[in-house]
Structure 1
Amino acid sequence: MKKLILFLSITFLFTQFSLAQTTEIWVVRHAEKDKTNPEDKDPNLSDEGRIRAGDLATYLKKVKFDLAFSTPTKRTHQTLDSLIIPKVIDYKDIPSLVEQIKNSYAGKTIMIAGHSNTVLEILQAFGAKKPKEELTDDDYDYIFHLTVKGDKGKVKMDQYGRPHHL
């Protein structure tokens, strides 16, 4: 009987610890892409985009990331190149991204690089409210710091690098 009570107590504590973990997620849109060839469906970053990727690294220099997620495009990967991240995993859809993070990476510090039409959707998928109505094709300087505990997410929005809206 004592062993059963001990086992149940340890199981309860472990469950509570797992549920109490806070996952820290930073979400950005890729930096400026090279638009010189309109036929290129997977362009690199432009010169301005490479500068912004460096600005992102400066902004996040005190953050130690466990891993990152990126769409499988050159521009999202290149946006993360200036950061020190031990592992970058490609994702294709938001529901599986959220499920993977919640099931396998709870309590970690994570970077996600997305696109203007996915960043706000990612925040909402983690249970946070959109801090901005929409991101336009010209919005490159926003960064979102999301803290997730269970099914609740809180987000703070900031800007980094040269302001895009001059």
Structure 2
Amino acid sequence: MKKLILFLSLTFFASQFVVAQTTEVWIVRHAEKDKSNQEDKNPNLSEEGKIRAGDLAKYLKKVKFDAAFSTPYKRTHQTLDSLIIQKVIEYKDAKSLVDSVNKSYVGKTIIVTGHSNTVLEIIEAFGGKKPREELTDDDYDYIFHLSVKGDKAKVKMDQYGRPHHL
């Protein structure tokens, strides 16, 4: 009986430790895409976008990522190309992304690339409050840093690279 109580106590404390861990989540929209072919549904980054991807690497040079999450589009993957990340995992929607992070990356540091219409949704899915009302098609320079603990997130917003809003 004492062993059972000890086992249950240790299990409880271990689960509390996992819940208490903070996950660092960086969220960024993909860099500028090549708009020369309006028919292309999966364009590469433009030259300006490649420069911004390099600026992202400079901005995050002191951050060590355990994993990256990207949608299956070239531009989101290419935005991460300047970062040194061992593992890039594709996701389809905010819920599956959060589920994957909560299952395998609690207490880790990750980066997520998204789109103008998904970045703020992802912040909310992690339990954060939207720091902006919207992201437009011209908003490429924002980066969001979330400190996630359980189902709550503290959100910090910054800008990197050449300002898109002069």
Using structure 2 for the length normalisation, give the TM-score.
0.98
- Runs (4 or more) in structure 1 with deviation over 4 Å come to none
Task: Report how far residue 2 of structure 1 moved.
Answer: 2.1
Matched position secondary structure for 1:51: helix
Determine whether 1:25 maps to 2:25.
yes
User: Which AA in structure 2 matches 1:138?
Assistant: D
How many residues are matched? 166
Q: Percent identity?
A: 79
Matched position secondary structure for 2:8: helix
Instruction: Determine the C-alpha separation between the residues in 1 that align with 2:8 and 2:54.
Output: 50
Q: What's 1:52 paired with?
A: 52
Task: Report how far residue 103 of structure 1 moved.
Answer: 1.6
What is the correspondence of 1:76-87 to structure 2 with a 5 Å cutoff?
Answer: 76-87=76-87
C-alpha RMSD of the superposition: 0.7
What is the correspondence of 1:109-148 to structure 2 with a 5 Å cutoff?
Answer: 109-148=109-148
Q: What's 1:104 paired with?
A: 104
**CA deviation string 1:18-52 (max 9, x = no partner):** 11111100000000000111111100000000000
User: Which AA in structure 1 matches 2:62?
Assistant: K
Task: Report how far residue 105 of structure 1 moved.
Answer: 1.2
Instruction: Determine the C-alpha separation between the residues in 2 that align with 1:4 and 1:38.
Output: 65
User: Which AA in structure 2 matches 1:119?
Assistant: V
Q: What's 1:91 paired with?
A: 91
- Runs of 5+ consecutive residues of structure 2 not aligned to the other structure: none
Instruction: Determine the C-alpha separation between the residues in 2 that align with 1:107 and 1:82.
Output: 24
Q: What's 2:161 paired with?
A: 161
Instruction: Determine the C-alpha separation between the residues in 1 that align with 2:77 and 2:130.
Output: 24
Instruction: Determine the C-alpha separation between the residues in 2 that align with 1:7 and 1:61.
Output: 43
Q: What's 1:11 paired with?
A: 11
Instruction: Determine the C-alpha separation between the residues in 2 that align with 1:62 and 1:151.
Output: 26
Instruction: Determine the C-alpha separation between the residues in 2 that align with 1:2 and 1:41.
Output: 63
**CA deviation string 1:96-134 (max 9, x = no partner):** 111111122111100000000000000001110000000
Using structure 1 for the length normalisation, give the TM-score.
0.98
- Runs of 5+ consecutive residues of structure 1 not aligned to the other structure: none
Matched position secondary structure for 1:154: strand
Matched position secondary structure for 1:144: strand
User: Which AA in structure 2 matches 1:22?
Assistant: T
Matched position secondary structure for 1:95: helix
Q: What's 1:149 paired with?
A: 149
> Which of 8-17 and 106-115 deviates more?
8-17
Instruction: Determine the C-alpha separation between the residues in 2 that align with 1:12 and 1:90.
Output: 33
Task: Report how far residue 76 of structure 1 moved.
Answer: 0.3
Task: Report how far residue 94 of structure 1 moved.
Answer: 1.2
